[in-house]
Amino acid sequence: MIPLSADNPRLRTPLITIGLLIAIAWVWLMFQRAGLSSFQLAASICNWGLVAGELTRLAEVGTSVPLAPGLYCVVDREWNNVWTPLSSMFLHGGWGHVLGNMLFLWVFGSAIEDSMGRLRFILFYVVCGLVAAAAQVLIAPASPVPMVGASGAISGVMGAYLILYPRVRVRLLVFLLIFVTVINVPAWLLLVYWLGLQLLMGLPELSSMRPDISSGVAVWAHVGGFAAGVLTIKLFARPELTGAERQKTLLKARRRSGAAF
């Protein structure tokens, strides 16, 4: 299921959401060379991705992780490691990764930006991203595997959306075997389903039988970011803006249904 749009009318141009999308795209295209250079992609992920074991110093220096044929990421104690919880939010591992994150941010981000204003939205986004990173570090503190992606911060946006706009309709592109269709579902159904998938994928990492190393997908970063959004949205949201947003959504829904006012 791929979200295409949501029924939230915009109160104003979502400049911060657009700015984040531009920043993510710029980093992918210019700094990571759109994945066309295996060396540049691996170097960006290794040097500026979040490595839990480097932050906690539980991973042994010199431990190597393969990122591409002939290319390895080696655990170190460099100065820039402390900045990786922030820098990793703007890095991605492939086209599907970056485009998927940008789509989710576009669909859900503008409404959350509207709900709190631009400056608060920047802070909210960063806080959710940092909590997401902390959650993954907590689950696999000795992992030498670099973690990248805006998913944690965007998960926080999705958690906030669940609290503020659970009944807003979201249009989904759905693939049913050989058929493709578009359906409308309430936001809560999509978001709860998505969260359930993250929890199911993340449960094996909690097993004491597994080594203390993160999986290919940082699902606990997703869960941590989502929880941060759910728990902090009321601190960031401004009632006068969420009220205006809800009213515009209601009016739009009534117009679509042809209801009389």
Which domains can be identified in the chain, with CATH numbers? 2-254 (1.20.1540.10)
Beta bridge partners of 6: 170
Predicted local confidence at residue 254, as pLDDT: 58
Q: How confident is the model at residue 51 (pLDDT cuts 50, 70, 90)?
A: very high
pLDDT at residue 242 tops 60: yes
Share of the chain above pLDDT 90, in %: 75
Predicted local confidence at residue 246, as pLDDT: 63
Residue predicted with more confidence, 111 or 211:
111
Range 190-213 average pLDDT: 75
Predicted local confidence at residue 166, as pLDDT: 94
The mean pLDDT value of the chain amounts to 88
Amino acid symbol at 68: A
Predicted local confidence at residue 205, as pLDDT: 67
pLDDT at residue 12 tops 90: no
Kindly report whether the global pTM for this prediction surpasses the value 0.85.
yes
Predicted local confidence at residue 212, as pLDDT: 44
Q: How confident is the model at residue 177 (pLDDT cuts 50, 70, 90)?
A: confident
Residue predicted with more confidence, 210 or 29:
29
- Chain-centroid distance of CA 259 in Å reads 37
Q: 178, 187 in Cβ contact below 8 A?
A: no
Share of the chain above pLDDT 70, in %: 88
Q: How confident is the model at residue 261 (pLDDT cuts 50, 70, 90)?
A: very low
Range 166-172 average pLDDT: 93
Kindly give the interhelix angle for 95-116 and 239-257, rounded to the nearest 10 degrees. 110
Beta bridge partners of 14: none
**Range in 7-11, 30-34, 184-188, 234-238 the model is least confident about:** 7-11
Q: 254, 180 in Cβ contact below 8 A?
A: no
Residue predicted with more confidence, 56 or 175:
56
Predicted local confidence at residue 239, as pLDDT: 83
Range 138-147 average pLDDT: 92
> What region does 172 belong to: left with phi over 0, alpha with psi -120 to 50, or beta?
beta
Q: 46, 145 in Cβ contact below 8 A?
A: no
Please, what's the largest Cα pairwise distance for the chain? 69
